[in-house]
Structure 1
Amino acid sequence: MKVAAVIVTYNRKMLLLETLRGVASQSRPVDRIFLIDNASTDGTAESLEAEGWMEYPKLSYMRMSRNLGGAGGFERGMRLAHQAGYDWIWTMDDDVEPDNNTLEIMLSYQDISQCINATKIFTENGEVQYWEQFYDFATGRLVDLKNVSFYSGREWCPVNVACFEGMLISRELVDVIGFPDPSYFIYHDDTAYGVKASFHTCVIYVRHAVFRKKIYGYGDPNPFRSYYMIRNSFRLKRDSFNAAPVGHSTKFSNFLFFLNLLKYSIHAFRQQPGLKMIEALVKGWSDGIRGR
């Protein structure tokens, strides 16, 4: 059984080095690391060279000619790992670092699931990120259960979404559901991927497989993030219903979906009022409704 890690990076060279050290020191070693550099401009390649990573025998480094976003980066890296014949693909961003037994713990659940997700703990304050979530088809939003299963003593729990900050997925499942959709660019690409996976396996969230997350929270909405949040919410709703074996969208569910996005839009504008935010929100709604 061969495991490949896929790391996507963009302008976080110091955090990336910590991610690489965490992956390279696993108690169950990875067999290959595919590092996708989304055209970083901060000297990432030079930093890797200076630290000796370019000579690391397990590292395959690929620099993109332009920034493909997280979605495009993971699509490229997962495709490379799949084409190379690896049995499991372990995805992660450049601001997370796995504990040295994380992969070993995750692989211990391979008889239960073909899509296994890890717990994130913020290094800034030791807070555990709530991630026991379900995508609600009626409202098109994520329902957060606040890790209630873990507080009840469970070691793992089912979910119907995935997170590329530590997702471990089997080759067989990739054969069925394909690769991430690069047109998402950022936001909801992994959510959509997890929804697709949930129709073919029990997607799970594991308590003691831990990643240390270096950037706390996601910051206040800005025009760039808000555009993709709105646009991709429409994409996620379409993709989820298209992937479902049975399901259809009702007028009431559409009303709830629009209401939820309207609430987000109002919140985003209150956080950062101005013409740029208005333009981003209007474009997000327009592109989302038209499927652009």
Structure 2
Amino acid sequence: MGPVSAQVFDSSTATIAVVTFNRSGLLSRLLESVVVMDPKPGHLVIIDNASTDDTTEVVESFRERLGTELVYRRLETNTGGSGGFSEGVRTAYELGSEWIWLMDDDVEVLPDGLARMGHWAPRFRSIQGRRYDFDGSEFYWQYRIAERMGIPIPFAPAGFGASGYKEMNSGCFEGMFINREIVARIGLPDPRFFIYWDDQMYGWLASRITTSVIVDEFVLRRTREIRQWDMGIRHMNASSDAYRYYIMRNRAHIKNYYRTNGVYNPVLFGLGTTLTFGKELIRLLFVERTVRGTSNLFRGLRDGARIARDRSWRPMQPLTDQPAL
């Protein structure tokens, strides 16, 4: 990370990029929260993953109320969260945005959220804020990964010291606040993930060239209730067959990125994959309360093996002439 700048954060240089799919009711709540934000971003980008509900009408009904420039792009096909965020970052980058704030459609922004993130912008280039859960509790996000295993560390300390931040080596597209300089160097989020592991990988790539941090600032609130297994400080959310498939398949994309960056250890990474498989079995038993769904885990492993053997695989490329990571 370069020297700390005394420059004051200019909210007009920031863009909020939202990915949505067939959840116009939730999107409406997010847009209502943008209406009352102070300060507001210079742009609001909405990437619609080919919704078939009234998303377009809902978005247009807010255009005159938002108080910021709205850019709405409806994709021809559903590219998953990964494809949506890739397009969202691309659009925001092409708009000249200095800062890009990524989020799903099932959150709302707290009124002073952008000011709180902007407070840290002169110092860091990859920042994660905090979020309240649906019930108002403080959501714990696993902000560090065991790098060689490629999995989150569930017992990373939850508390913040006097500094108000902790270094992270991961990322979450539900609130990632990233500078265009970092985007230029690591490229766009990889749409090939479709869903899952994409934001962890993007945050990891960012942390290799800058000091990435999670800050003790509550800036978002989840607006959708998710079935959970309450384990005290930690929670395990419900999942789906699609998530189970991509959780395992996309381990191959992580493996390929690790190979490219020279950090791949077959034994440790294999252990991470085994632990991931075991975690999903636990999720099935204790959250979903079923044993059905294991076939999707095996199918993901099978298809991932093909990706890992693909000699034509290449990482996403930088948007500048600087060398790829």
Above 0.5 in TM-score?
yes
Question: Are the counterparts in 2 of residues 112 and 202 from structure 1 also a CA contact under 8 Å?
Answer: no
Please list, as runs of the form range in 1=range in 2, the aligned pairs for 1:112-191 lying within 5 A after superposition.
Answer: 112-123=123-134, 125-145=135-155, 147-150=157-160, 152=161, 154-191=163-200
SS of 1:5's equivalent in the other structure is strand
Correspondent of 1:283 among 299, 307, 314: 299
**Residues 149-194 of structure 1: CA distance to partner in whole angstroms, max 9, x if unpaired?**
32x5552111111111111111111110010000111111111000
Aligned match of 1:224: 242
Please list, as runs of the form range in 1=range in 2, the aligned pairs for 1:22-171 lying within 5 A after superposition.
Answer: 22-49=33-60, 51-53=61-63, 58-123=69-134, 125-145=135-155, 147-150=157-160, 152=161, 154-171=163-180
Structure number with the higher helix fraction is 1
Task: Tell me which amino acid in the other structure corresponds to 1:76.
Answer: E
Task: Tell me which amino acid in the other structure corresponds to 1:37.
Answer: D
**Residues 44-99 of structure 1: CA distance to partner in whole angstroms, max 9, x if unpaired?**
112234x3437856111111111111110111111011112111111111001111
**Cα 1:238–1:136 shift into 2, 3 Å:** farther
**Cα 1:287–1:110 shift into 2, 3 Å:** same
Correspondent of 1:233 among 232, 241, 251: 251
Q: Distance in 2 between matches of 1:272 and 1:136?
A: 29
Query: How far is the alpha carbon of 1:223 from its aligned partner?
Result: 1.6
Task: Tell me which amino acid in the other structure corresponds to 1:126.
Answer: G
The reply to whether residue 266 of structure 1 matches residue 281 of structure 2 is: yes
Q: Number of aligned residue pairs: give it.
A: 284
Give ranges in structure 1 of 5+ residues lacking alignment. Answer: none
**Cα 1:221–1:164 shift into 2, 3 Å:** closer
C-alpha RMSD of the superposition: 2.2
Q: Percent identity of the aligned residues?
A: 31
Give ranges in structure 2 of 5+ residues lacking alignment. Answer: 1-9, 228-236, 309-325
Task: Tell me which amino acid in the other structure corresponds to 1:231.
Answer: R
Question: Are the counterparts in 1 of residues 17 and 46 from structure 2 also a CA contact under 8 Å?
Answer: yes
**Cα 1:265–1:63 shift into 2, 3 Å:** same
The reply to whether residue 19 of structure 1 matches residue 30 of structure 2 is: yes
Q: Which 10-residue stretch deviates more, 259-268 or 163-172?
A: 259-268
**Cα 1:259–1:207 shift into 2, 3 Å:** same
Aligned match of 2:263: 247
